[in-house]
Amino acid sequence: MELLTISKAAKKLGVHPNSLRNWEKQGLIKPVRSPGGQRRYSMDELNRLLQSGQLDAGQEGVVLYARVSTKKQADAGNLNRQLERLRQYVIESHYHVVAEFTDVASGLNQKRHGLTNVLKLAERGEYKKLIIEYPDRLARFGYSYIERHLRYCGVEIVAIAEKEPE
């Protein structure tokens, strides 16, 4: 029996590897674990999943993006709490997460790896909604340019809160 890595299985299904991880948490798919603890998927399991009709039926693929300005904020748990609030929103909205990206950097910093990945996936058409907590978590300045570019890529930005508390 041939076992596929998570990236090969995701490619066969046309989804992001995070989708497979999420489906495992939901009990939709059960990977085999290698001696090193890595996930492996059999073609039988992938076919069973495809035939079950449970693959995100009616769910829209989204990307989560969270940012804090300093390592001190990240170490205090602010980044993790922000991500948890985004995940809770996704669950309540019946979306499925394509990917999650984070940055520990100023909102003025243009060299953020997480934001770069958000834009790359949008340009490849891999999701339809970007979920953020507040608009300034995406960018302090230039938000409208990012929003315009994402809209051009077919992506809507959803800020789950309008204004950050003082």
pLDDT value, residue 52: 72
Asked whether the CA dihedral 113, 115, 116, 118 is positive or negative, the reply is: positive
- Is the distance from CB of 65 to CB of 102 less than 8 angstroms? yes
How many domains, in total, are found in the chain?
Answer: 2
Q: Are residues 133 and 71 in the same domain?
A: yes
**DSSP labels for 66-107?**
EEES-HHHHHTTHHHHHHHHHHHHHHHHT-EEEEEEEEES-T
Answer whether residue 70 shows pLDDT above 90. Answer: yes
Q: Pick the more confident residue, 19 or 100.
A: 100
Say whether both 71 and 144 belong to one domain. Answer: yes
Evaluate if pTM is beyond 0.75. no
| Cβ(13)–Cβ(98) below 8 Å | no
Catalytic status, residue 69: yes
Q: Residue 165: its pLDDT value, please?
A: 56
Lowest-pLDDT range of 19-23, 111-115, 142-146, 153-157: 19-23
CATH at 112: 3.40.50.1390
Same domain? For 94 and 149 the reply is yes
Residue 17 CB: number of other CB atoms within 10 A? 18
Q: What is the average pLDDT across 118-142? A: 89
The answer to whether the CB of 60 falls within 8 A of the CB of 68 is no
141 lies in some domain:
yes
Domain annotation covers residue 99 = yes
Residue 165 covered by a domain: no
Q: What's the confidence (pLDDT) of residue 89?
A: 92
Q: Does residue 139 carry a pLDDT above 80?
A: yes
Whether residue 40 is found in the same domain as residue 87: no
- Options 7, 19, 42, 69, the catalytic residue: 69
**Domain assignment of residue 105, yes or no:** yes
Nearest alpha-carbon partner for 128 in 99, 148, 154: 154
pLDDT value for 124? 82
Residue 80 shares a structural domain with residue 114: yes
pLDDT at 61 (0 to 100): 83
CATH number of the domain at 33, please.
1.10.1660.10
Q: Are residues 29 and 71 in the same domain?
A: no
Provide the domain limits for residue 26: 3-52
